[in-house]
């Protein structure tokens, strides 16, 4: 029942305030990443705030220029400090990753947080065997592990992600494996130290659809074991398959956030709605698609007011001048749109 929520005053700001939410594993507040451009500093990520709750899959969806990958990279300290100015906080277990030093981050990466990247071929070291890399992942965080235990845990990790003949794989190299297997190995590496959180950046984009389905299954299995997952993707279908909650990013900001059914079914933002409407459906042939006009803005060329307004079918005057903040649009569902009632009504 959304009508009740929609009748609450639009001025009621529901943005998360300072402290971390009680049941959140990762709390990101006001994350801002500025890059130097020929026209001055620009925010690739602009005051982004969200929580990742325990045992959930959060989908971060957006297109080019949305800032979704930069967001992840900044949280994990992978953006180069000399090119980006990062502010805000990302608190995991009481530790703010943004202000933490490299040594703290190194302790977190691979142990508390596992990372899976888009192209497994580049994520795996081509000159080290699979077994060596898995062992590295373990040993980096625990020097005292014995060789036997390293081997056992590596084999177990590979088996858990469905790699056939895991003992044999230990001696193989990345190029000997298919794309799907490589991604499984990459996921095994991310999971091997039992992290609380897994961050996956476009984990299925480079894969065939049948393999993609298997990889998504793996992520869900990890979630069922209690790991929280953040999946960054441009594919709404991936969200529909695995996400519990979704944050939609556009031009560096979160424009909509809420449970996946809410965002997809009763969307509160014209961008999300437009995206949904423009995609062809497998189940049924549509005569004609309705694309969103224009293109996602470049970092250096963002419109004033609401960044989406030039492409928005329901844009009003206020949209060109005033930037919308996230306001309530349903149960646990927020949207940054001045005209959200029009979508609902």
Partner 1 sequence: MASSLAPAIPRRAAPLRSVQDLFHRYGAITVIPWAVLALIVLAAIAAPALPFYDPYTQNLSSAYLSIMGRDEAGTLHLLGTDTLGVDTLSQLLLGARLSLTIAIGSVLVSTVLGVALGVAAGYLGGIVDRIVVVLIDVSLAVPRVLFMIPVVAVLGSSLWLLILLIGVTGWVVFARVVRAQVLTLRRRDYVDAAVMMGSGHLAVMVRHILPNLHGTILVLASLDLGAVIVMEAGLSYLGLGVQPPDTSWGLMIEQAQEYIVTDPRLLLVPSIALVTLVLAINLGTRPFTAELRPTRRRRGPVPIALGA
Partner 2 sequence: MADREIVEVQDLTKDFRRGRGPITRAVRGVSFGIRPGETVALVGESGCGKSTTARLVARLLRPTSGRIVYDGVDVTRWSTHRMRPLRPMVQMVFQDSWSALDPRMTCRDIVAEPLRVQRRYGRAQRDRVDELLARVGLDGRYGDRKPATLSGGQRQRLSIARALALQPRLLILDEPVSALDASIQAQIVTLFQDLQRDLGIAYLFISHDLAVVRHLADRVLVMYLGQVVEEGLAEAVFGAPRHPYTHGLLAAVPVDHPAARGRGPGRLAIGEPADPMHPPSGCVYRTRCYRVADECAHARPMLLGPADHREACAFPLPRPLAELRGLAR
Residue 251 near residue 66 (C-beta atoms within 8 A): yes
**If phi over 0 gives left and psi between -120 and 50 gives alpha, with beta otherwise, what is residue 299?**
alpha
- Helical residues (DSSP H) of 178-259, grouped into ranges: 179-191, 209-224, 236-242
Distance CA 106, CA 99 (A): 13
Among 41, 164, 226, 316, contact with partner 2 (rule: CB under 8 A): 164
Task: For residue 159, state whether it binds partner 2 (rule: CB under 8 A).
Answer: no
For residues 27 and 267, which CB has a smaller minimum distance to partner 2 in the complex?
A: 267
For residues 157 and 275, which CB has a smaller minimum distance to partner 1 in the complex?
A: 275
Among 76, 84, 264, 314, contact with partner 2 (rule: CB under 8 A): 264
Residue 328 near residue 14 (C-beta atoms within 8 A): yes
Task: For residue 130, state whether it binds partner 2 (rule: CB under 8 A).
Answer: no
Among 41, 171, 293, 304, contact with partner 2 (rule: CB under 8 A): 293
**If phi over 0 gives left and psi between -120 and 50 gives alpha, with beta otherwise, what is residue 333?**
beta
Residue 122 near residue 199 (C-beta atoms within 8 A): no
Residue 329 near residue 344 (C-beta atoms within 8 A): yes
For the chain, list the strands marked E by DSSP: 24-37, 40-53, 57-61, 84-92, 95-96, 113-116, 197-201, 228-233, 245-250, 253-259, 327-330, 333-335
Among 67, 114, 131, 180, contact with partner 2 (rule: CB under 8 A): 180
Among 85, 221, 261, 325, contact with partner 2 (rule: CB under 8 A): 261
Local structure of 85: helix, strand or coil = strand
CB of 211 to partner 2, least distance (A): 6
For residues 82 and 283, which CB has a smaller minimum distance to partner 1 in the complex?
A: 82
For residues 196 and 271, which CB has a smaller minimum distance to partner 2 in the complex?
A: 271
Task: For residue 121, state whether it binds partner 2 (rule: CB under 8 A).
Answer: no
Among 30, 63, 96, 136, contact with partner 2 (rule: CB under 8 A): 63
CB of 14 to partner 1, least distance (A): 28
Whole-angstrom Cα Rg for the chain: 21
Residues forming beta bridges with residue 83, ordered by sequence position: none
Distance CA 333, CA 340 (A): 12
Task: For residue 80, state whether it binds partner 2 (rule: CB under 8 A).
Answer: no
If contact means CB under 5 to 8 A according to the sort of partner, which of partner 2, partner 1, none does residue 117 touch? partner 1
Write the binding mask 199 to 238 for partner 2: x where contact by CB under 8 A, - elsewhere: ---------xxxxxxx-xx----------------xxxxx
Residue 86 near residue 169 (C-beta atoms within 8 A): no
Residue 315 near residue 309 (C-beta atoms within 8 A): yes
Q: What is the DSSP letter of 254?
A: E
For residues 278 and 321, which CB has a smaller minimum distance to partner 2 in the complex?
A: 278
CB of 199 to partner 1, least distance (A): 10
Task: For residue 275, state whether it binds partner 2 (rule: CB under 8 A).
Answer: yes
CB of 116 to partner 1, least distance (A): 11
CB of 281 to partner 2, least distance (A): 6
Among 8, 83, 278, 321, contact with partner 2 (rule: CB under 8 A): 278
Cα 131 versus chain centre, distance: 28
By the criterion CB under 8 A, which residues form the site for partner 1? 35-38, 44, 63-70, 72-73, 78-80, 82-84, 117-118, 201-202, 205, 234, 298-301
Which residues of the chain form contacts with partner 2 (CB under 8 A)? 63-64, 164, 178-181, 208-214, 216-217, 234-238, 240-241, 243, 260-261, 264-265, 274-275, 278-283, 285-286, 288-293, 295-296, 298
């Amino acid at each position: 029942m959304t009508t009740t929520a929609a009748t609450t005053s639009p001025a009621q700001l529901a943005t998360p305030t300072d402290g971390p939410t009680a049941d959140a594993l990762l709390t990101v507040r006001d994350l801002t990443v500025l890059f130097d451009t020929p026209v001055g500093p620009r925010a690739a990520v602009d005051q982004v705030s969200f929580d990742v709750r325990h045992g959930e899959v959060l989908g971060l969806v957006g297109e080019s220029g949305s800032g979704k990958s930069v967001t992840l990279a900044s949280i994990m300290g992978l953006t180069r400090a000399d090119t980006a100015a990062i502010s805000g906080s990302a608190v995991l277990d009481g530790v703010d990753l943004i202000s933490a030093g490299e040594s703290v981050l190194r302790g977190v990466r691979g142990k508390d947080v596992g990372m899976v990247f888009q192209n497994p071929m580049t994520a795996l070291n081509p000159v080290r065997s699979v077994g060596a890399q898995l062992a590295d992942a373990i040993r980096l965080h625990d020097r005292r592990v014995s060789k036997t235990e390293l081997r056992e845990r590596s084999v177990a990790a590979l088996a858990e992600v469905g790699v056939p003949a895991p003992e044999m794989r230990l001696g193989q190299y990345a190029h000997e494996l298919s794309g799907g297997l490589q991604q499984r190995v990459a996921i095994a590496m991310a999971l091997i130290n039992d992290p609380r959180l897994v961050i996956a950046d476009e984990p299925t984009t480079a894969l065939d659809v049948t393999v993609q389905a298997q990889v998504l299954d793996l992520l869900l299995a990890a979630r069922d074991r209690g790991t929280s997952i953040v999946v960054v993707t441009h594919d709404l279908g991936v969200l529909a398959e695995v996400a519990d909650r979704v944050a939609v990013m556009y031009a560096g900001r979160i424009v909509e956030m809420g449970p996946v059914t809410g965002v997809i079914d009763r969307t509160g933002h014209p961008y999300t709605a437009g995206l949904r409407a423009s995609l062809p459906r497998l189940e049924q042939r549509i005569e004609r698609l309705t694309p969103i006009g224009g293109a996602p803005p470049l970092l250096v060329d963002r419109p004033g007011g609401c960044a989406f307004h030039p492409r928005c079918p329901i844009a009003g005057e206020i949209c060109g001048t005033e930037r919308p903040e996230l306001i309530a649009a349903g149960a646990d569902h927020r949207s940054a749109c001045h005209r959200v009632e029009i979508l609902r009504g």
